[in-house]
Structure 1
Amino acid sequence: MTTSAGDNRLWNDYFSEDPTFPPHLFRRRFRMYKEVFMRIVDTLSANVPFFQQRRDAVGRLGLSTLQKCTAAIRMLAYGSAAGAGDEYLRLGESTSLSCLTNFTEGIIQLFGDEYLRRPTPEDLQ
């Protein structure tokens, strides 16, 4: 199973057994701990078909879950433009926007009841 250049770069830089960038740089660049990011990635991949990697009509693998989630997180964390992922992640503007839309809808659907609620009196204490 071959992967794209963007997926390979992302994997080697942050997710391999011996990543190029250490955990403190992951935290700085993704604005969260890797464990939190991976929980989001795994939950979205298991529950939202958009985030499941598939093959196209000629058998090539599409974008990975990591690429799609990274594109969305970077736009949210940095306010970056949708086309900013072209070089590093290897995805275009319309795909980045689709990643962001599906990401936010998935987060609301899967984590909304737990994290996107009004604070309780106990929370406020």
Structure 2
Amino acid sequence: MPAAQMIMEEEEETTSQPRTRQAAINRDRKGVHARLVVDYFANGPVYMTAMFRRQFRMSRWLFLRIADDLVRSDPFFTFRYNARGQRGFTTLEKCTTVIRQLVYGTTHDSLDEYLRMSKRTTRECLYKFCEWVVKLYSKKYLWKPNRNDVQKLYQAYEERHGFQVMLGSIDCMHLPWQNCPTAW
């Protein structure tokens, strides 16, 4: 029997059965927060400024500013206990999981080993984070550039890189390159 057919039959068997509630996983949320603070946010962190910038693609100051703005805007990003009295995730944990997903383009459950956050919670953090970043920063940072702004971008890019045509093609495929391996 082909492997694909066996997988389909197994899926049919599991979907036809009534769903049972999965046992709760001890995620050691207090330990996760402590490890995250020691690694990145303590006065003498394990991963210093350069490593933080490489891991998060932003400065620690900017990360903390965004986290503070989110806490002031939506109670979802504050530390809370759930209805069963279990410890929830902190602001740092929620923002870290979102930034890591955006930086590395990973799936919702890929950070479970380090942050011990379920796929559902990670997805919810991502949606809320994106919603609030647009609400908070769109007027100042996410605006459509006008003709004057585009001209300034062209001039700055030409001064730095020596050619002006940067908008319209992210990979600059429209520019001839003498060392292009594909052309060889």
In the superposition, the TM-score normalised over structure 2's length comes to: 0.64
User: Which structure has the larger Rg?
Assistant: 2
**Partner Cα distance (1:103, 1:95) in 2:** 12
**Partner Cα distance (2:36, 2:130) in 1:** 21
* Equivalent position SS for 1:77: helix
* Mapped contact 1:5–1:90 kept (Cα < 8 A): no
Alignment of 1:101 with 2:127, yes or no, is yes
Select the structure with the greater relative contact order (CA < 8 A; seq sep ≥ 6). Answer: 1
Specify the alignment match of 2:67 in structure 1: 41
Alignment of 1:19 with 2:45, yes or no, is yes
**Partner Cα distance (1:42, 1:115) in 2:** 17
Alignment of 1:87 with 2:117, yes or no, is no
Aligned length: 123
Specify the alignment match of 2:136 in structure 1: 110
Segments of structure 1 that go 5 or more residues without pairing to the other structure are: none
* Equivalent position SS for 2:127: helix
Moved more, 56-65 or 3-12: 56-65
Root-mean-square deviation (CA, aligned residues, Å) is 1.3
Segments of structure 2 that go 5 or more residues without pairing to the other structure are: 1-28, 153-184
Q: Identical aligned pairs, as a percentage? A: 40
* Equivalent position SS for 1:45: helix
Moved more, 54-63 or 92-101: 54-63
In the superposition, the TM-score normalised over structure 1's length comes to: 0.92
